[in-house]
Amino acid sequence: MTQKKSQLCSRANVYTQVPDGGWGWVVAVSFFFVEVFTYGIIKSFGVFFNDLMDSFDESNSRISWIISICVFVLTFTAPLSTVLSTRFGHRLVVMAGGLLVSTGMVTASFSQKVYHMYLAIGIISGLGYCFSFLPTVTILSQYFDKRRSVVTAVASTGECFAMFAFAPAITALKETIGWRYSLLFVGLLQLNIIVCGAMLRPIVISGPGTPKATTHENRREVQYMLENEKTRTSIDSIDSGVELTTSPRNVPSHPGVEPEPKADLQQILGKPSSKQSDQKPPLLDFSVLREKSFICYAFFGLFVTLGFFAPSLYIIPLGLSLGIDQDRSAFLLSTMAIAEVFGRIGAGLVLNREPIRKIYIELVCVILLTVSLFAFTFATDFWGLMSCSIFFGAMVGTVGGTHIPLLAEDDVVGIEKMSSAAGVYVFFQSVAGLAGPPLAGKTRVYHPCFFPFPS
């Protein structure tokens, strides 16, 4: 395996095959912290529920619409995120997403009505969450092959550690400065997503082939790198920003192969022909909708998402309704988060084994997730809720950390269509993300909120 040498983190990484490491480890760390400040915050939002109900004098169902709208926007705009990532690069989209997330959360801290939060957190932050999360998990999957399952599972534990740390920390912070300033602090903390986005170096896979094909791939690498780095103004600006892979020292030597004429290079850099333009990949490949395996998997994701967010949002109110104090109720959420860490890592290790049909393991985990949700309805005290929280956390971890990376498996669509498939797949989840928490809140009591939606 050969890697294009570069000194600046802003340049694209060019490999002849999936590196299974390299700069991918930096991307994995970035994804960990993106998880912390996206899904980690969403799942920890339940600590604000009682404060918002008292402050706005609203029901739990109406308050739950804040997160429901947020999750709906996050998933509904997934195709837009894919298109923008293809056009402008993952880095720029994630950084813009971080700015939107922080702006929405900071604005929400000044809300006077609950519908102000629908707009601030639901729409503005929701769009930012989409722009931050989806491109990061997509580019991480491109950096890994054999280790993809375990690396993605471990990196996705960021949201679990966030739940474990944020639930008690925000609870204590609210008692000192109030929920508004606590929400403001969280919004400012989410600016770190911009730093994570800056670490996402583009990756180009240039597979070895015939000499002519290799030269053609080099031209594509140049074009890809120039589009992502915004250095298409002139040949001089290109030389200053991106090292050309078509320079003599970078083009592999092949006896008997004539070098490309200089005129062709100028055409690649400045004026691509109509034939070359036709070879550009579509911004969003809808051909995945013609694959039965993807359609089935998309509906699987839709129903599973119904049960993803309600438990973490309602576990604290459920504890309070059973007479458990605020601190111990918050501890239930932290326990759920720690169990989810072990679930994610365990699933990653199991799915990393060869040979194994990963899709079957995922189905077994979903069945157990359904059982764990149903178990909540029988809990009547702290230790009962503790046991259910551990069971649910472990099961939701196995599913939550692997369901998107499994799109890259040949059983679904494969790595070539991973980017477009992820956008369409998450779009399918939008209806479930919008309906899940409000449907649970409509019961007006908390035990039915945990009925097994995924089934």
The percent of the chain in helix, strand and coil, each rounded to the nearest 5, is 70, 0, 25
- Per-residue pLDDT, 96: 95
Task: In whole angstroms, give the CA distance from residue 302 to residue 381.
Answer: 32
- Which position has the token pair 């993106």? 34
Reference 346, options 298, 412, 396; nearest CA is: 396
- Structure pTM? 0.66
- Per-residue pLDDT, 274: 46
Record the tokens describing residue 303, joined without a space. Answer: 């129903």
Concatenated DSSP letters of 150-208: HHHHHHTTHHHHHHHHHHHHHHHHHHHHHHHHHHHHHHHHTTHHHHHHHT---EEE---
Helix and strand element counts for the chain (H, E): 22, 2
- Per-residue pLDDT, 443: 52
Q: Is 57 left (phi over 0), alpha (psi -120 to 50) or beta?
A: left
- Per-residue pLDDT, 410: 67
Record the tokens describing residue 153, joined without a space. Answer: 């599972």
Q: Tens of pLDDT along the chain (455 residues)?
A: 444 444 445 566 676 677 777 888 999 999 999 999 998 898 888 889 888 988 998 887 788 889 888 988 888 888 888 889 888 888 999 999 999 999 999 999 999 999 999 999 999 999 999 999 888 988 888 888 778 778 888 888 888 888 888 878 888 899 899 999 999 999 999 999 999 999 988 877 665 543 433 334 444 444 444 444 444 344 343 343 344 344 444 444 454 444 444 444 444 434 444 444 455 656 666 777 777 888 888 888 777 777 676 777 778 878 888 888 888 888 888 888 888 888 888 887 877 776 667 777 888 888 888 888 888 888 888 999 999 999 988 888 888 777 777 777 767 777 777 777 777 787 777 776 666 556 655 555 554 444 444 44
According to DSSP, residue 294 is labeled H
Domains and CATH numbers, the chain: 14-202+288-450 (1.20.1250.20)
Measure CA 303 to chain center: 18
- Per-residue pLDDT, 9: 53
Task: In whole angstroms, give the CA distance from residue 256 to residue 51.
Answer: 75
Three-state secondary structure along 8-58?
CCCCCEEECCCCCCCCHHHHHHHHHHHHHHCHHHHHHHHHHHHHHHHHHCC
- Identify whether 355 is preceded by a cis peptide bond (ω within 30 of 0): yes
Are 354 and 149 within 8 A, CB to CB?
Answer: no
Task: In whole angstroms, give the CA distance from residue 153 to residue 345.
Answer: 6
Task: In whole angstroms, give the CA distance from residue 382 to residue 146.
Answer: 42
